[in-house]
Structure 1
Amino acid sequence: MSLTVTPVLAQDAPWPDILIDPSARLHGDADLILPMGCGGAMAFQRVDVPVDVNSPLADRPFRMGQSDATTAFSDYLKPTYLRGAFDDLEAGVSYYYIARYELNEAQYRAVRGDCDAPFKPIEARAKGGLTWFDAVDVSRRYTEWLMVNARDALPAAGDRIGFLRLPTEPEWEYAARGGARADGATFAARRFFADGSLPDYAAFRAPGSGGGGLTVMGGRRAPNPLGLMDIYGNAEELMLEPFRLNAIGRSHGQTGGLVTRGGSADLEDAQIYTAKRSEYPLFSSFSGQALAGEYFGMRLVLTAVVVSEDRYERIRENWAEEADRPSDAEADPLAALAALLEEEVDPRRRDALSGLRLEFRVAREAAAESLFQAAKSTLLSGAAFVETLQDGNLEVQRLTRDSLALRDRLALLQGSQREQMMQTLVLNVDRLTALRDSVDTYLLSYRATLETLASDVEETMREEAYTSLVQDLAQAEQTQLLTMLNRFWADLLVYVETPDMSKGDLLAQAIN
């Protein structure tokens, strides 16, 4: 069925802010506002994905999922890659856009051309009851309307003009975690926030958190690091691609039903987290019709095609360069030289090749030794971080006790003594705040050290470097540092298995 495009009419009354960008007053304006039929609009946030923008094949690796074994068949950790559709050459990032809010009832009406009745604030409620096919149709209708009525409002890159669709799971999860605006600890954690509790961010099945029904997006809750609202709870958001199991760190070969992300207002606290994935059938087994879940909603992504006429040659050439570059497994100069030596009959050339092979062997051994020493140095840094975090935490506890004692004494004093005591308390609180900030900074560096050893150093070399460093410290009688190294090594073994632990869990692991 073809779409009848309805142009923006002069009599279309502008919508109130609650229907477009209700959290702007508290959290700042959306990055992009796209117009919509019936006088409406939709707000979007830009999601930066740092890559080498000069290479069209460059993308950003990150780990989706979590390490919880109870749901590992669905959402266990796995590597994935992402690049935005548009490039910011000055900032050196690619980017795409994702809707700041879930599609609301007013926007659903407008996309379908239902402009006769006035649009009311209550229609800021998330639109539920969609089928996956409805959601795809919304993206089609809205894009076609924009192409005809507001083409210049769509971002473009050369021949590639933006269009709307459902998000892929990597696009959704990267944005839900906070993207490049989240620090390493926040991005890897089970949820995107460390302070506050779930009712501050989501409507879910709990007293005072939505009552189990879809709510009005009025900016009453807090955003994630990217400024996205209701990324947890409320409507569960339909994804573009179908469901696949997690086959121990990769996608399983069998393709299933539709996928929703983010949980819904009908779920409890423990069931809502960033990596949460739910599978449903595309069709109801009872009615035979497309399944329309009560809480099925959507959040659009603004992206573009990958290959265009003005980009074709650059992509093709870049791919050819990458294909011609030998992989680590193929680029073994010693094996290649050994093969040449076997075939060479000229004594002078054999001597030259033998000398070259020796030079390669020396260079390889030097590189391996360099990496080995770097691993030992990183382990040593980790041990130092453990000691610093432990000392910092003890000082935080001491200053906290002192501040509480000063506060209690303050209640008993009057006059100049009270004023002096108040100044002492203020200084103490300032020191406590600065120290907590310092501990947070050290904790980020600590996670980076763990990540480097877990991801960039092979397990065998990691263990050899640890054994060697233990021997070095024992011989030097560095008892305290050796103790810290052993504690760091225990933390590293835990981190290898659960790299998505929260900031609080990581600190607890370091100081215990």
Structure 2
Amino acid sequence: MKPELHVATLLVTLATGLGITMAAHAQPEWDERLYNPTPLEDDITLPMPCGGAMTFRQVHVPATAPLDDFAVQIGQDGTGWGYVEQSRPAFISGSFTGEEGSASRHYLLAKYELTELQYDALMGDECPEPSTRKRFPRVELSWFDAMQLSDDYNLWLREHAPEALPSEDGVRGFLRLPTEVEWEFAARGGLEVSTAEYRDTRYPMPEGLNAHEWFAGSQSANGRLQLAGLLATNPLGLHDMLGNAGEMMFEPFRLNKLDRQHGQAGGFVVRGGSYLTPREDLRTALRGEEPYYSEHQSHDADAGTRSRAIGMRLALVAPTLTSRERIAAIEEDWAELGLGEEESDASPGTVLQLAELASGVEDEALQEQLQSLERELRASNQRQKEARNQAIRASLNLGAFLCTKLEDDGVFFDFLADNYRLNCAGDTPDASCTMRQTRLAEQEQRLQGLSRYYASSLVESATLYGRESIAQQVEVFGEILSRNAHLSGLAPYLQTYWQHQRQYLDEQRITTQAWLESCKAMANTP
């Protein structure tokens, strides 16, 4: 799907099954300020009934194959709510394949919380009058209302604007509430922030919290819901992620149990805080539970829980098992998961040997034990591989950074050397030559030490991980750098470092001086 997708100007008459009836005349398109008050070049826009629209942002994840995913941390330690928010490992991937040559997949998240105007266009008996006054987030929705709205929007798009929906493997995407991992990964800034910024209590806010999010108190929301999109975005271009209206999640609430979630599934999850949340409590890890049904509405026909501070934001994703070809590719990848390395004599690895042993056992109980052991070993191997990949990316990060340091220190050494020759090479040396010579010698010693460290790190990483494993993570780490505006300048140094590693693997020679000169030359690279 292209960012330039426009809002369809269609005669909108929905089927009775949608439960929506529209005026039988063409509706003018909404002014962009009503659905996207702060447009960005790479926004994605989907049409809505009544000439309306909804804007989305792509959230990229470094992955390519269907079974690829990316390890992240969600939650936050030290909040005092460990049983609800404690940090734990999670994994994420995208639904849609990236552009050709891209090492990422992506899903889409609505740029703004669902507004009253958008809700009325989908669920009202007639088209609403477009108005800025209806740009408030739509609150007082039950979780079931959110499900109904998602279904209605999906059906409307499939009938009236199917070409607007992105496809994966020939299958059109669909809208639903986000999962907690999808929401939190995006709320923290995804690949647009550094690892340290991602793990911080809130995403980077250059202009301060007041400029980015609404919270309780007279210095901010002052106890009232605010228009969507008035404040600055998070690093992914998403508005109001940590305030204004709390946001419903797709899955049920679970407690934390140290490194995993508790087995009981409860009510629905609400994330992000709202205009009633105190400033000090507003954080990315903030999560709460709401019951699906309200005790105070038990005698009503519709007893779904509703709150004046809870709204919703839609995600746009795709099915996983999209075709026979995709299923075959997944089966092939699955068969390779956790097999481990071949033995040094090229004989099958331990997992395959164990599988062969199990297949030849006639005792069913023993066979089940061996197969269980095989599954556990495969899972352990897979965890080790994922940890290894993270370690490789860390080594690549260090190598690229060290190359920048070689550039800086090498250029500074040349500057000192040129000044020394200019002022001290003649018959009448400058009075400062002794000091200049001392500084030059100190810088040379520093540069030599840094060059040895660069070479040692490069050789150790190349020897430990090998060409194939490193090459795969160069692609992944390059994708991470390309998505981060603050780190993208590191990309050419990553390629230079990888070039040096390949030279070492090919020639088995440590050429410290040549590597230094190569990193120094980056200063003259446009």
TM-score range, shorter chain: 0.5 to 0.7
Q: CA deviation at 1:314?
A: 0.9
Partner residue of 1:151 out of 162, 168, 173:
162
User: What's the offset of the Cα at 1:11?
Assistant: 2.6
Could you tell which deviates more after superposition, 120-129 or 207-216?
207-216
CA distance in 1, matches of 2:42, 2:36: 7
Is 2:63 aligned against 1:48? Answer: no
Separation of aligned partners in 2, 1:30 and 1:109: 27
**Counterparts in 2 of 1:471-510, with a 5 A limit?**
none
Amino acid at match of 1:41: A
Whole-Å separation in 2 of the counterparts to 1:157 and 1:116: 32
Partner of 2:309: 295
Instruction: Render the CA deviation track for 1:148-167: whole Å, top value 9, x for unaligned.
Output: 00000000022321100000
- Given that residues 103 and 297 in structure 1 are in contact (C-alpha distance below 8 angstroms), is that contact kept between their aligned partners in structure 2? yes
Residue 71 of structure 1 aligns to which amino acid in structure 2?
W
Q: How does 1:158-237 map to 2 (within 5 A)?
A: 158-217=169-228, 219-237=229-247
What is the CA–CA distance in structure 2 between the aligned matches of 1:56 and 1:236, rounded to whole Å?
32
Which residue is 1:317 aligned to?
332
The 5 A counterparts of 1:394-413 are none
SS in 2 for 1:308: coil
Residues 332, 315 of structure 1: alpha-carbon distance in 2 compared, 3 angstrom cutoff: closer
1:157/1:318 Cα in 2 relative to 1: closer, same or farther (>3 Å)?
same
Q: Which amino acid aligns with 2:80?
A: T
How far 1:304 moved relative to its partner?
A: 0.6
Partner of 1:87: 97
Q: Distance in 2 between matches of 1:300 and 1:279?
A: 19
Q: Is the 8 A contact 2:205 2:234 kept in 1?
A: no
Q: Can you list the C-alpha shifts for 1:317-360, whole angstroms capped at 9, x where unaligned?
A: 211222655799xx987xx99xx9xxxxxxxxxxxxxxxxxxxx
1:444-483 equivalences under 5 Å are none
Show the 5 A alignment for 1:286-365: 286-288=296-298, 289-309=303-323, 310-322=325-337, 324-325=339-340
User: In the alignment, is residue 38 of structure 1 matched against residue 68 of structure 2?
Assistant: no
| Structure 1 portions without partners, runs of 5+ | 341-370, 389-448, 450-455, 457-512
2:18 maps to 1:12: no
Aligned residues: 344
Partner residue of 1:127? 138
The corresponding residue for 1:262 is 272
Q: Percent identity of the aligned residues?
A: 37
Q: Aligned with 2:17: secondary structure?
A: coil
Match of 1:293, SS state, is: coil
1:295: how far off?
Answer: 1.1
Which amino acid in 2 is paired with 1:47?
V
Relative distance call for 1:114 and 1:210 in structure 2 (3 A) is: farther
- Which residue in the other structure is 1:103 paired with? 114
What is the CA-CA distance between 1:35 and the residue it aligns to?
0.2
- Whether the 8 Å CA contact 1:47–1:96 is kept in 2: the answer is yes
Helix, strand or coil at the partner of 2:330: helix
Report the Cα distance in structure 2 between the residues aligned to 1:245 and 1:127, rounded to whole angstroms: 28
User: What's the offset of the Cα at 1:114?
Assistant: 3.8
1:454-497 per-position Cα deviation (integer Å, ceiling 9, x unaligned): xx9xxxxxxxxxxxxxxxxxxxxxxxxxxxxxxxxxxxxxxxxx
Partner of 2:72: 62
- Residue pair 2:21, 2:126 contacting (<8 A) in 1 also: no
Residue 140 of structure 1 pairs with residue 151 of structure 2: yes
Structure 1's 74 and 326: CA in aligned 2 closer, same or farther, altered over 3 A? Answer: farther
* Structure 1 residue 220: Cα displacement: 2.7
> Aligned equivalents of 2:207 and 2:162: distance in 1?
41
CA distance in 1, matches of 2:212, 2:186: 15
Q: 2:163 & 2:23 partners in 1: Cα distance? A: 14
SS across alignment from 1:239: strand
1:116 and 1:143 map into 2 onto residues whose CA distance is: 18
| Structure-2 separation of matches of 1:120 and 1:194 | 30
Give the Cα separation in 2 of the matches to 1:128 and 1:264.
11
Alignment correspondent of 1:272: 282
The equivalent residue for 2:364 is: none
Give the CA deviation at 1:5. Answer: 6.4
Partners of 1:203 and 1:327 lie apart in 2 by 56
